[in-house]
């Protein structure tokens, strides 16, 4: 999320190949992951035959015993723990932002100061855009949460709107939905060698149109739950460059948090500019684990 530099090339359209699902491949992983490979058999955004991304289908870094439920579709309604809950997912950036530089460079009030409406986001060195990653994980996360009974809303989806939305609008969408929990999905663009994930919590802000005082405490609980479950399910380690190894960071310069009136956090799922993290982020099996880990943190928070 944080990388905006002169050597960032706008994401270009890519042609994706769909690899076969083999018996030998299924034998390499726990039975709980088989459902993921079924998804991979029909392909997922960001996977170019997997080999091109330098990743293997065994999803290096995924916990050997992730607590994954392949499907809750056949469960009776009273077994769906999120029935009646509303979750808003904010996929960071937008794949077409680079075509709307004037619009996304417009400044908006985030309470503590004025910032750009949005940015292009970062990408891996091979050109896999952060916005592609965030949308893919958001779709996976939505499916998991809906299977558990939640009402899920995305701040944008499938090119609608055509750019953005601006960070203040993203916060307003969660507020208007009266979300029980909201999360913004990102991946970082730090220097190579900086690895790991971190969850960003809202600081206490009371300035301009921002007042986070009521959501600081519940957001911290949400963030801690997500940090713990994300680490356990994915095997990804907390950031080695921010957060002092806790996987948690508090910030007051993000409009999506400052302007939220519902419990909300950001997650930087890994560093796209580091080759080892990029190998995970470009792997569809690992992205499914990422969505699962995030979902389990949200469930833990909503169930109290």
Q: Give the span between the Cα atoms of 176 and 164, in whole angstroms.
A: 18
* Contact status, residue 104 vs residue 163, Cβ threshold 8 Å: yes
Q: Give the span between the Cα atoms of 126 and 112, in whole angstroms.
A: 36
What one-character-per-residue DSSP string does 114-144 give? EEES-----B-TT--BHHHHHHHHHHHHHHH
* Contact status, residue 219 vs residue 261, Cβ threshold 8 Å: no
Of 72, 71, 69, 66, the C-alpha closest to 30 is 66
Q: Give the span between the Cα atoms of 76 and 248, in whole angstroms.
A: 36
User: Which is the catalytic residue, given 40, 169, 227, 268?
Assistant: 268
**Is 236 a residue of the active site?**
no
165 cis-preceded (ω within 30 degrees of 0): yes
Of 175, 196, 198, 192, the C-alpha closest to 88 is 175
Q: Give the span between the Cα atoms of 299 and 180, in whole angstroms.
A: 11
Q: Catalytic amino acids?
A: 268
């Amino acid at each position: 999320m944080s990388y905006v530099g002169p050597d960032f090339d706008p994401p270009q359209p890519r042609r994706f190949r769909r690899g076969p699902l083999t018996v030998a491949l299924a034998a390499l992983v726990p039975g709980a992951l088989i459902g993921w490979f079924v998804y991979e058999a029909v392909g997922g955004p960001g996977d170019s035959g997997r080999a091109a991304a330098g990743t293997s289908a065994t999803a290096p870094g995924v916990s050997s015993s992730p607590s994954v439920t392949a499907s809750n579709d056949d469960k009776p309604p009273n077994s769906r723990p999120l029935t009646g809950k509303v979750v808003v997912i904010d996929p960071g950036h937008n794949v077409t932002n680079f075509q709307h530089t004037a619009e996304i460079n417009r400044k908006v009030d985030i309470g503590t100061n004025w910032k750009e409406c949005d940015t292009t986001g970062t990408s891996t060195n091979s050109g896999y855009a952060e916005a592609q990653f965030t949308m893919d994980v958001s779709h996976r996360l939505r499916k998991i949460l809906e299977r558990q009974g939640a009402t899920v809303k995305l701040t944008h989806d499938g090119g609608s709107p055509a750019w953005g939305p601006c960070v203040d609008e993203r916060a307003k969408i969660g507020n208007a939905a009266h979300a029980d929990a909201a999360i913004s999905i990102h991946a970082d663009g730090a220097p190579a060698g900086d690895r790991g994930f971190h969850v960003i919590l809202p600081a206490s802000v009371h300035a301009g149109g921002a007042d986070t005082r009521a959501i600081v405490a519940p957001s911290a609980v949400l963030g801690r739950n997500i940090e713990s479950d994300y680490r356990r399910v994915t095997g990804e380690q907390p950031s080695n460059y921010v957060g002092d190894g806790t996987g948690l960071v508090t910030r007051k310069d993000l409009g999506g948090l400052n302007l939220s009136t519902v419990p909300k956090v950001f997650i930087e799922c890994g560093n796209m500019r580091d080759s080892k993290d990029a190998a995970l982020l470009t792997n569809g099996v690992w992205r499914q684990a990422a969505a699962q880990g995030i979902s389990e943190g949200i469930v833990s928070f909503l169930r109290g």
